Structure 1
Amino acid sequence: MGRDVSGADGPRDEDLEQVLDAFGTHLRAERNRSEHTVRAYRSDVRDLLTTVLPAGDDGSLDLGLLGLADLRAWQTAAAGDHRRSTLARRAAAVRTFTAWAHRTGRLGEDPGLRLQAPKRSRDLPRVLAQSQVRAALEPAVAARTDASPDPVELRDGALLELLYATGCRVAEVVGLDVGDVDAGHRQARVLGKGNRERVVPFGEPALRALEAWLDRGRPALAVTESGDALFLGRKGGRIDQRQVRTVVNRAVAAVPGAPHTSPHGLRHAAATHMLDGRADLRSVQELLGHATLSTTQIYTHVSVERLRSSHRQAHPRA
C-alpha cells in the first residue's frame, strides 16, 4: 500500500498512470508546455518510476522512496544509450517532475535539486551555403512561372521560401492560417514555443511564392475540412510536419554536394546567412523567437568558423 500524501487535492494513493496524468496536466496548464514536450517528459518519468520504484500490491506508488541515489543510478544506466542532448532532456524532465511532486506533497523533499545533467553538446550545425539554398529553391521559382502549375509544387515552393525567409520552426509554419499572413506588409504572425506570438518579416521571393500558392495552388486542394489552414496536404487537410520534412529533404537532396538537412536546417541557414550579412544578434534572436540570446549565439560561432575557413584558404600567410 502506498503512503498517503497530501497536496492541493488532499491525501491520495495513486498508481503510475494517475501520477503521470496529473503531471501531464501540470505541464500543460501551469508550465504551458507543448504536447511534444508533455509526451517526452511523461515518457522519461515513466521510465524512471518503472525502473526504480516497485508498485504496491494495489498498484500504488510510494514516491517517498524516491531519492537522489535512484535518480543518479537511472541517469548513469542510460548514459551509454542516448545522445547528450537526450540525456539533458531526461534530467530536465525528472527535475521538473520532482519539483512538482514536492510542491504537491507527493515528495517530502526534492531530490532533483541536486541532479546534474550533462552539458549539451555545442557542435556547430552543418549549414547550407547561400548558393545551395538558391539551387534548392530554383524548381519552386520555375513552378510559379508555369502556365499550368501543379498545385503541390506551388505549395512546396511557398513552404521552402517561407521557411528560409523567416527562419521559422516547422511547427510554426504548419500552424499558420491564411489570415496570419499580411501580404501588404510582407509579414506573418506565428505562434512559437510557450505560446509566444511574434511577427516575422519575409521578402519579395517569399511573397511571390505565397501569392502563387494562394491564387493558383490552394484553391485546387481546398475542401470543406481545410478551414483556414494556410498550407494543405494533397487531401485538403492542414499539412503536417512530416510532409514538410519530406519537401525539404527532397529539395536539398537534389542539390549536388549539399548536406542532408531538414526544415530546421533552413532555420540554421537563415540565421547564419543573416549574421554573415551583418545583421545584429538581437534582431536574429527576435526573428527566430529565441527566449534567450545565448541560444542564438551558436550562429555567431558558425559565422566565425566560416571566416576562419576563408582566411585559411585565401590568406597567403594563414
Structure 2
Amino acid sequence: MTDLITTGKRALTSIEFQGLADVPPEVEWFANLGNKETRRAYENALKDFMNFTGIQHPEEFRMVTRAHMIAWRDDLVNRSLSGMSVRHRLAALSSLFEYLCEKNTVTHNPVKGVKRPAVESYEGKTPALGDHQARQLLEAPDSTTIKGKRDRAILATLLYHALRRDELCRLKIKDFKQERRGVPHLKVSGKGGKTRYVPLHPAASGLIHEYLDAAEHGLEDTGSLFRSVSNNRIQGSQKAITPDAVYKIVRAYSEKLGFKIGAHSLRATAATNALDHQADIAKVQEWLGHANIATTRIYDHRKTRPEDSPTFKVSY
C-alpha cells in the first residue's frame, strides 16, 4: 500500500482531490442519480423548488422546513398541476433529504408529514388498442422501403414485448441475439440499470431480421439495433434512434389510421392483451420490469371493457 502511495501515478491533482472532498452532499446526491430520465425529472423539480424559495446555493437546502414544503405544494396545486405531478416533485425533494439525513447533514426530512394530493385513477389514462387496431398499426408502414421495414420492426418490438421507448432505443444488435434454454430472447436494459430477458416473439423476430437484412448492419454486434434512416446510409454509424423519434413514428401511423396515440399506449396494449389471454399478473409484472405489482395493475384495462359491464347482463 505504501509503495502504491509513493510510486503510483496520481490521476487527480491535490487541488482536484481537495475540490472533490469539498463537494456538498446536495450536489453529490444529484451526481449519483444514474438514470437519465430520473435525473431530468428531479432536476426540473429542484429548479422549480429553488425558484419558489429563492435558494441559490446547495447548502441552503439545509435550512428548508416543512412549512416551506407545504407552501411549495400549495403553489404547485394552485398552478393546476395534476396530483401525480405534485407527488412526483415532492418525491424528488424527499429523495434529496433522505440522502442528506444519511449524511447527517440535516436532522430530518421536511417532506415527511406533508400531505400529498389525491391521485385520480390511472384507469383509461393510457389507452390500450384493440386487437384489430394493433394489427392495422403493424401493417401500416410500407414494407418495401428500409424505413418501412424498420418502423414495422419497431412497432412489433413494442407491441409484442411491452418495452418502454428508451428501452427500445438502448437495444444493441447483440441484445437481439440472446438465447436462454434454447429460446431466443431480448436483453432489455430497464429502469435503474436493471436488466431483464424477454422471450423474443417469432413475429417480431421475423420483422427485425427483415429490417437488418435491408439495412445491412446486422453483424455490428455492439451497434444500435434501431437507427435513423440517415444513419443506416452511413457505413459504421451506430447512433441509435431517439425516444422522441419513436414517439413520432407511433403518433404518425396511428393518426393516419384514425386513433392518435403515443408509444406508451403500445406498452399498455401488450400488457392488456397478455392479461386478456390469462397471463399471470405476477409474470406480467416481471415482463414489464415493474418493481411493484400495483404499477402493473395500472395497465390492466380489462375492467374498462364495455362488453364486460353488468349492463349487458340485464335481461327482461
**Quick check: TM above 0.5?**
yes
Structure 1: stretches of 5+ with no match in the other structure = 1-8, 29-33, 144-148
Alignment check: 8 A CA contact 2:169 2:240 kept = yes
Mapping of residues 202-221 of structure 1, within 5 Å: 202-219=200-217
Specify which of 224, 227, 231 is matched with residue 226 of structure 2: 231
TM-score normalized by the length of structure 2: 0.81
Aligned-partner residue type, residue 132 of structure 2: S
**Could you tell me how far apart the structure 2 residues matched to 1:313 and 1:113 are?**
44
Alpha-carbon spacing, 1:64–1:179, altered in 2? closer, same or farther (3 Å): closer
Q: How big is each residue's C-alpha offset from its partner over 1:36-88, in whole Å with a ceiling of 9 and x where there is no partner?
A: 21122122123223422555xxx674334210001100111111321222111
Aligned to 1:31: none
Alignment check: 8 A CA contact 1:136 1:254 kept = no
Aligned to 2:48: 47
Alignment check: 8 A CA contact 1:64 1:108 kept = no
Alignment check: 8 A CA contact 2:174 2:222 kept = no
Mapping of residues 29-48 of structure 1, within 5 Å: 34-48=35-49
1:127 is displaced (CA, Å) by 1.5
Aligned to 1:247: 249
Aligned to 1:161: 156
1:312 is displaced (CA, Å) by 5.2
1:246 is displaced (CA, Å) by 1.0
TM-score normalized by the length of structure 1: 0.80
**Could you tell me how far apart the structure 2 residues matched to 1:309 and 1:266 are?**
22
Structure 2: stretches of 5+ with no match in the other structure = 1-18, 232-238
**Could you tell me how far apart the structure 2 residues matched to 1:162 and 1:85 are?**
29
1:11 is displaced (CA, Å) by 10
Of 78-87 and 109-118, more deviation after overlay is shown by: 109-118
Alignment check: 8 A CA contact 1:20 1:42 kept = no
**Could you tell me how far apart the structure 2 residues matched to 1:183 and 1:39 are?**
31
**Could you tell me how far apart the structure 2 residues matched to 1:119 and 1:218 are?**
51
**Could you tell me how far apart the structure 1 residues matched to 2:286 and 2:268 are?**
14
Aligned residue for 2:187, secondary structure, equals strand
Specify which of 200, 205, 211 is matched with residue 198 of structure 2: 200
Alpha-carbon spacing, 1:251–1:128, altered in 2? closer, same or farther (3 Å): same
Aligned residue for 1:27, secondary structure, equals coil
Aligned-partner residue type, residue 25 of structure 1: A
Aligned residue for 1:62, secondary structure, equals helix
Alpha-carbon spacing, 1:151–1:98, altered in 2? closer, same or farther (3 Å): same
Of 286-295 and 103-112, more deviation after overlay is shown by: 103-112
Alpha-carbon spacing, 1:291–1:297, altered in 2? closer, same or farther (3 Å): same
Alpha-carbon spacing, 1:50–1:107, altered in 2? closer, same or farther (3 Å): farther
**Could you tell me how far apart the structure 1 residues matched to 2:225 and 2:246 are?**
13
Alpha-carbon spacing, 1:152–1:20, altered in 2? closer, same or farther (3 Å): farther
1:293 is displaced (CA, Å) by 1.1
**Could you tell me how far apart the structure 2 residues matched to 1:54 and 1:299 are?**
39
Specify which of 71, 76, 79 is matched with residue 78 of structure 1: 76
Alpha-carbon spacing, 1:20–1:233, altered in 2? closer, same or farther (3 Å): farther
**Could you tell me how far apart the structure 1 residues matched to 2:309 and 2:82 are?**
33
**Could you tell me how far apart the structure 1 residues matched to 2:241 and 2:247 are?**
11
Aligned to 2:235: none
Alignment check: 8 A CA contact 1:155 1:218 kept = no
**Could you tell me how far apart the structure 2 residues matched to 1:305 and 1:105 are?**
48
Aligned residue for 1:111, secondary structure, equals coil
Kindly indicate whether residue 300 of structure 2 is the aligned counterpart of residue 294 of structure 1: no
Aligned residue for 1:250, secondary structure, equals helix
Kindly indicate whether residue 123 of structure 2 is the aligned counterpart of residue 131 of structure 1: no
**Could you tell me how far apart the structure 2 residues matched to 1:77 and 1:266 are?**
35
Q: How big is each residue's C-alpha offset from its partner over 1:217-275, in whole Å with a ceiling of 9 and x where there is no partner?
A: 344xx9x9x9511001122121111111111111211223x3x2111100000000111
**Could you tell me how far apart the structure 2 residues matched to 1:269 and 1:227 are?**
30
Aligned residue for 2:188, secondary structure, equals strand
Aligned-partner residue type, residue 49 of structure 1: M
Q: How big is each residue's C-alpha offset from its partner over 1:90-114, in whole Å with a ceiling of 9 and x where there is no partner?
A: 0101111122223324323321222
Specify which of 16, 21, 26 is matched with residue 27 of structure 2: 21
**Could you tell me how far apart the structure 1 residues matched to 2:159 and 2:222 are?**
25
Alignment check: 8 A CA contact 1:164 1:266 kept = yes
**Could you tell me how far apart the structure 2 residues matched to 1:161 and 1:177 are?**
16
Aligned-partner residue type, residue 40 of structure 2: R
Of 38-47 and 178-187, more deviation after overlay is shown by: 178-187
Task: Work out the percentage of aligned pairs sharing the same amino acid.
Answer: 23
Alignment check: 8 A CA contact 1:161 1:209 kept = yes
